[in-house]
Structures are given as structure tokens and as C-alpha cells.
Structure 1
Amino acid sequence: MPRSRRIALQLLVQKDQASAARLAGYKRAMAEAGIPIDQSLIGDGTFTMESSAAWFDRLLASSDPPTGLACANELGLLGALHALGRLGLTPGRDVHIVTRDNTRLARFLPAKIGVHSVDMANVGHKLIEGLASRIANPLGPVAAILVQGRFDPAE
């Protein structure tokens, strides 16, 4: 009998804007796919490599472990990969992984990982442009800037 699709989500801190957006997107995607949300698969905390490995160890040891994982960042990813490696599990085969990776670290790993990234240099330029505009026109409208991200699926 096939296992249900169980997708875990790492959040850094549930109360920050990025984590709230990730959680909202996760809930929307799960609803669209008709997959019930299991709160035990949603983790939050400052995901260092060590804490990520410990959290993912606990999930993998459960009676119904996740088949997918969305990592909050590169450190969470490294911890998750460490947990998988200790069990002899292969990313992309045993557990599908996507991560946020603005350092481009994931492209150097010998693992099949979907990667979402944003050009942080471009973000910095946009912030400086916004600040300069605000200094030049302090009473003008506040600009909202959306920087396009990029998703590279697991190969």
C-alpha cells in the first residue's frame, strides 16, 4: 500500500514575515493538493545544522515519516541531509527536498534538491534605491518592491 504524501516544513520563527509567508504558501499548496496538514510536520526554531538534524531525526523516526521536506535555509538543509545520511536515505529518492538557498551552496552538493533563491545583490540595490528615493522625497509614497525569485527543480 503506498504511503501518504507527507510534507514537512521548517520555519525559522513563526512570527516573522518570511516564515508567515512560507506557512501560508505551504497551507495553500497542501489544500490545493488535497493533502491534510499534520501540525507535527511543521517545525520552527532557529534551524542550525544541529537543531535541524535533531528535528528531522525525530520526524524520520516516527511511525509515518515525511516523504518531503521544505527547508527554511541552507543550514536547515545541511542538518536534514546529515539526518538522512545517518539512516542511509537518499534525497530525491527516499525524501524529496526543496530549500531556500541564497548562498548557492546547494549547487555544490551531490544531492537532488529543488532550490529557491533570490539575488541578494539585487535586493541590496533595490533597498538602496528605495532609501535614496525616500531621502529625496520624504513625504512621497512608500514604495513596495517585489524582487523575483528563481526556482530550480531537483535534477
Structure 2
Amino acid sequence: MVAHMSTRPTIRDVAAAAGVSVATVSKAVNSRYGVAPATVDHVMRIVRELGYESSLIASSMRSRRTGVIGVLVADFEPFSAEILKGVSAGLREHPFELLAYSGSGHAESEGWERRSLSRLSGTLIDGVILVTPTVVNITADVPIVAIDPHTGPADLPTVESDSFGGARAAVGFLTELGHTRIGFIAGRPDLRSSIAREAGYRSALADAGIAVDSSLIGVGRYAQDTAREAATALLSRPDRPTAIFAANDLSAIAIIEVANLLGLEVPRDLSVVGFDDIPEASQLTPALTTVRQQMQSLGAVAAGLLMSLMADEHPAAQHLRLPTKLIARGTTGPPPRSD
């Protein structure tokens, strides 16, 4: 049995352990002609035992392909984690590995994706999926697909959820329960999803004949800390809303935390609806009423679209929108009775 080495093994280590030349190892690893099958099996057994991996950068210099797909996310939070699961599933039938790269600490800086791409494209990745990017158009040496894109006319292929329809269903559900003072904690104002969710909120109120009160709209930016501030402002009012629709589940969870601190009971005193249906939504007590978007499907569809672009195919549609569904759980009920 070959002993594992304390440092990263090289191709010369493999050759020495297998008793063959470096050239033979190279041919065996890269499936090139000229090596007997038995020798290939022997070399590959040594490769596995030593844990040898050829350099991605060296391979890319030779073949101009790395076999790696990059996924750039602003941060590793529940939404992006579900997206990554979907991308991984979408790549399962393709010969690509996944590299997740976070702009953590720089995500509020516009254009961080461009800087990240300049480091990665051309050497480490063959294609990239951008999740909630801060800019509309990005050029790179590799194909790009955006999930939940920036607002504006995007030249990039995109995949997103039906944010307008989901928000309209959520707020319509609250009006059907009898709520007329419904607050809204918006997301990032630079993203199409946030703009569409506010439009759905306004549309559902109009459908119910309720005038929009702009003082009941706060900005959470899809972040819990910011959402807590907005929720505190809304719930500290003497004429506080009886229900709040949040642009994402993290914001909805923050609203519930603030309500508890202020002595309000959900849903007796306040109904709350989120958007996403992250795994934590069903684990709350009471479980969160929310709009389910197919987060893993977003990732899988984006991966499929990227594979088509990399194969120089021309997809029938380059801007895809997936349906959403309202999931009614325990954080919603009729408005509190006025004594």
C-alpha cells in the first residue's frame, strides 16, 4: 500500500510510486493514447491513494478549459445556500465542478462582481452564475447567467421568480383575512425582485380598494439587521399595522423577533407573511406563512442555461421566470378585534 504524503503530491511523486515515467502518468491521467490499460489502472490506483490532482490553472493553460463553474454570491445566507444546492443538482449530469465565491464584505460595493470575475475568469472557471448582482451588464471572458438580476434592461441571460404574482397573492391573502392596515418591508431597491414585490403589494391593496399608505413601507434590503430597524419603526407606532408583508423570509423572521420584544403575539396581534420559504420558515413556532419560490430550481435552471451557452447553443428564451406559490401557515390570522 502506498503511504499518503504529508505535502501535496506531485506528478513526479505519482510516477515514482507507480514505477513509471512522468510522461506515462500524464498520459494515463489525461486519457491519452499510448498506455496499456493495465498500466492506466495501476497509475490511477496510485493517483487515488496519493490524492494527486493536477493543477486547474496548468490544465486550463493547456486546454483552455478548467472544468469548473463559478457561482458568485453576495453572502452565504439561506437563499444563496438553496441556490447553490440547485446549481449543484443541475451540474450533476455534466463534467463540471462547482466553485462558490462570496463577495462578503464587498457586496454593498457596486460592481464587486466585476472585480471578482477579473480574478476568476480565464484561469479558474469556464462559466459563471451571478446571484443577486449589483449591476445590470457585465462582460467577461466566460459565459454568464444572472439569478435575481439587478433592475434595468439586462443583456445577460437571467433566471428569476414571479415576484409580482407572489407578492400580490400574499397581500391578497391578508386582505381576505380582513386586514386593511398592511405594512411592507421592502428588499434591495436595486433588484428587480424587490421592485416587483412592492408593485405586487400595491396592486393587491388596489384590488381590495385600500389606499396605499407610504408611511407603512419600510426598507429592509433583504437583511435582518435593517429589517429589524424598519419593523421597530412600524410596530412602535400608536397606529401600527395589523399585518406586515416582508420581501423575504429573513426580514419576516426579524419582524417576528421585534414583535415579541414589544410584547405582541403573532398572529393574535400581528400577522406576518414572508417570501422565499427558506428551510427555517417551516421550523419557526408558529411556522411562517410565506410565498414559496423554487430556489433550488432557480439554481438548476440557471445551470442548464449556462450549459447551453457554453455549448454555443441558442436557448429559446434567455430570460426565464419561475412560478411562486403562497404557503399559508401559523403566522397569519384575522386582524385583532378592537375593544
2:187 corresponds in structure 1 to 12
Instruction: Give the C-alpha shift of residue 138 in structure 1.
Output: 5.1
Aligned to 1:92, the other structure's residue is in SS state coil
| C-alpha contact (below 8 Å) 1:112/1:154 kept by paired residues | yes
| C-alpha contact (below 8 Å) 1:113/1:154 kept by paired residues | yes
Query: Quick one: structure 1 residues 7 and 133, their matched pair in 2 at CA, closer, same or farther if it must change by over 3 Å?
Result: same
2:201 corresponds in structure 1 to 26
Aligned alpha-carbon RMSD (Å): 2.2
Give, as a single letter, the amino acid of the residue that structure 1 aligns with 2:320.
I
Q: Kindly report structure 1 stretches of 4+ aligned residues shifted beyond 6 Å.
A: none
The unaligned stretches of length 5 or more in structure 2 are 1-177, 331-339
| C-alpha contact (below 8 Å) 1:101/1:116 kept by paired residues | yes
Q: Distance in 2 between matches of 1:15 and 1:40?
A: 20
The answer to whether the aligner puts 1:61 opposite 2:239 as a matched pair is no
The answer to whether the aligner puts 1:84 opposite 2:267 as a matched pair is no
The unaligned stretches of length 5 or more in structure 1 are none
Give, as a single letter, the amino acid of the residue that structure 2 aligns with 1:124.
G
2:227 corresponds in structure 1 to 52
Aligned to 1:146, the other structure's residue is in SS state strand
Specify which structure has the bigger relative contact order, considering alpha-carbon pairs within 8 angstroms and separated by 6 or more residues: 1
- Size of the alignment, in residue pairs? 153
Aligned to 2:218, the other structure's residue is in SS state strand
| C-alpha contact (below 8 Å) 1:92/1:112 kept by paired residues | no
Aligned to 2:232, the other structure's residue is in SS state helix
| C-alpha contact (below 8 Å) 1:91/1:113 kept by paired residues | no
Query: Quick one: structure 1 residues 32 and 49, their matched pair in 2 at CA, closer, same or farther if it must change by over 3 Å?
Result: same
* Selected match of 1:114 from 274, 289, 295: 289
- After TM superposition, the score normalised by the length of structure 1 is 0.86
Q: Distance in 2 between matches of 1:123 and 1:48?
A: 21
Identity %: 27
Query: Quick one: structure 1 residues 91 and 132, their matched pair in 2 at CA, closer, same or farther if it must change by over 3 Å?
Result: same
Instruction: Give the C-alpha shift of residue 91 in structure 1.
Output: 1.5
**Which has the higher mean CA deviation after the structures are superposed, 20-29 or 68-77?**
68-77
Q: Distance in 2 between matches of 1:66 and 1:128?
A: 41
**Which has the higher mean CA deviation after the structures are superposed, 139-148 or 37-46?**
139-148
Q: Distance in 1 between matches of 2:311 and 2:320?
A: 18
